[in-house]
Amino acid sequence: MPVTPVDPPVALAVPAAALPVPSFDRAMAAIGHVRRAGPWVLARRFRAVAWMGGVDLDLTEAVIPPDGSVLELLAVLGVITVRVPAGLAVELVGDAVTWSADPGWAPARGAPGGSGRASVRLIGRAVLGKVHVCVVPTRPHSAG
């Protein structure tokens, strides 16, 4: 019997009552590296700082609060990489100097949240560093 591969989970909005969502969380790398990946609950407000180090945030399996999340990203002589699933509504706030995005990136229009669908707002700043956003495509179902 053929096995049909299943798409990896895409960041889902869940009712706040179903899962406790922290109001604030953070990740900091000072001359080191921090990684958040796999299934994890993204706080409503998340701050990441890379000071002469690296922060890698993978949102492909993260649970996003239904009212959205705001990620405050600061890279000082460091690099912050955020991986987002293709279906996630994302708003980028920053300037061309601080951002780097995959080719074909099309940010969401309007402010995230309020639509009942998972969304994030990324506010990025870099001082002799880099904030990089890359879209991870979902795998299509294959008919067997």
**What single DSSP character describes residue 114?**
S
pLDDT at 23 over 60: yes
Please give the full DSSP string across 28-79, using - where no structure is assigned: EEESSEEEE-SS-BPPSEEEEEEESSEEEEE-TTPEEPTT-EEEEEEEESSE
Which sequence spans correspond to the domains of the chain?
12-99+116-136
User: How confident is the model over 110-120, as a mean pLDDT?
Assistant: 59
Q: How confident is the model at residue 137 (pLDDT cuts 50, 70, 90)?
A: confident
Residue written as token pair 């699933």: 85
Mean model confidence pLDDT for the chain: 79
Hey, is 102 helix, strand or coil?
coil
- Return the pLDDT at 101: 67
- Return the pLDDT at 107: 53
